[in-house]
A = this chain, B = another copy of it.
Amino acid sequence: MKNFLAEISVLPIKEILDPQGKAVMLGLNNLGVGGVQDVRIGKRIEMRIQASSLEDAQKHVELGCKKLLANLIMEYYEFEVKEI
């Protein structure tokens, strides 16, 4: 068995309003951080996983994203798996 690190991002899809991101954008402007045009906020997940191969680890991560981590109606996910 090898050890892998999966870095997963889950973000709201473009068609969906992101009120948390809007609030942060206004907050940044009020704090004097200029030039911010748009902010979108999602989840970042770091997962340590044991598997026999990279393909196997990717399959596990994909399954986890679909079953638990992302709500595919409102969110999309992307991930990268590397051996550690």
CB contacts (< 8 Å) of A41 on chain B: these are 43-46
Kindly identify which residue among B34, B40, B44 contacts A42, using a CB–CB cutoff of 8 Å: B44
Q: This chain: how many copies in the complex?
A: 2
A82 part of interface (Cβ distance < 8 Å): no
Interface check A17, CB cutoff 8 A: no
Listed by A's residue number, 27 A-B pairs whose Cβ atoms lie within 8 Å are A1-B35, A21-B45, A28-B64, A28-B67, A28-B68, A31-B64, A31-B67, A33-B60, A33-B63, A33-B64, A33-B67, A33-B68, A34-B60, A35-B49, A35-B50, A36-B48, A37-B49, A39-B45, A39-B46, A40-B45, A41-B43, A41-B45, A41-B46, A42-B43, A42-B45, A43-B44, A44-B44
